[in-house]
Amino acid sequence: MKVSVQAKVLALLFSAGLFAGCSTTGENMEEGGYDSDVAAIDQDGGSTVYGGGDQGGISSSSMTEEERMEVQQQAEQQALREITTFYFDFDTSEIKPEARDVLVAHARYLSSNPGQNVRLEGHGDERGSKEYNLALGERRANAVQRFLIVNGASRGQMQTVSYGEEKPAVMGSSESAWAQNRRVELVFE
């Protein structure tokens, strides 16, 4: 069963929110004795987070629906950008469909941050000659570079390098190990 990257990200965000909402500090709270600068719910049903001694804060009840959607979208884009390794099928440099949304998020980030540079490191598994795997790693890195450029990143922000089979992520001669070694890694500088 294939699950989309967006579904995984949403599940991750929901799980993190649920975990954070259910966690306790283990402190006993006396009535009216909140020793924190965070109020759980304000009078209008929204939450307010206070930021210090001036008792000023940010209330979610004062945010418009558009602002909430924008904040959610930014969080989703940030979560997508945490994925920096992209895997390939055997003997191909074709980008998998499930990697496209993540690469688009990286391209948007690079487009909005022209001073940010990234190194695209292409890799192959141990099958084939060293020369062939170097060339295949280069084709994979170039495929990711072209995809990022088409989606808004600048060629000047990127450098490609191929390590072929020289830097395996996993040691071993099994299909599982080979699958993890056929990759391109984005290394932000």
pLDDT band at 80 (very low <50, low <70, confident <90, very high): confident
Q: Answer whether residue 21 is part of any domain.
A: no
The span from the CA of 66 to the CA of 79, in Å, is 20
Predicted pLDDT of residue 15: 58
Q: Is 61 within the bounds of a domain? A: no
Q: Over the stretch 95-120, which tens digit does the pLDDT of each residue have?
A: 999 999 999 999 999 999 999 999 99
The confidence band for 49, taking pLDDT boundaries of 50, 70 and 90, is very low
In a domain, 120, yes or no: yes
Cite the DSSP H helix spans in the chain: 5-22, 65-81, 100-112, 130-150, 175-181
Contact status, residue 84 vs residue 185, Cβ threshold 8 Å: yes
C-alpha count within 13 angstroms, C-beta hemisphere, residue 135: 6
Structural domain total, the chain: 1
Q: Is residue 15 part of a domain?
A: no
Query: Could you tell me which residues come within 8 angstroms of residue 26 by beta carbon, excluding any fewer than 6 positions away?
Result: none
- For residue 31, pLDDT over 50 is answered with no
Task: Look at residues 69, 73, 102 and name the one whose alpha carbon lies nearest to residue 87.
Answer: 102
Residue 87 lies in a domain: yes
Q: Which domain holds residue 96?
A: 83-188
Whichever domain contains 141, its CATH number is 3.30.1330.60
User: Does residue 12 lie within any of the structural domains?
Assistant: no
Q: How far apart are CA 173 and CA 87, in angstroms?
A: 17
Q: Is residue 43 part of a domain?
A: no
Could you tell me the two tokens for 88?
A: 């390939």
* Mean pLDDT, residues 5-14: 59
How is residue 147 written in tokens? Answer: 């995809």
* pLDDT tens track for 157-185: 999 999 999 999 999 999 999 999 999 99
What pLDDT shows up at residue 33?
44
Question: Using the 8-state DSSP alphabet, how is residue 95 labeled?
Answer: P
* Contacts of 58-64 spanning 24+ positions with Cβ under 8 A: none
What is the band of 63 on the pLDDT scale with cuts at 50, 70, 90? Answer: confident
> Which positions ≥6 away from 11 have C-beta within 8 Å?
none
Confidence category of residue 29, pLDDT binned at 50, 70, 90: very low
How high is the mean pLDDT of the chain? 79
Mean pLDDT is lowest, of 27-36, 59-68, 79-88, 132-141, for 27-36
Please report whether residue 155 resides in a domain.
Answer: yes
Distance CA 172, CA 135 (A): 22
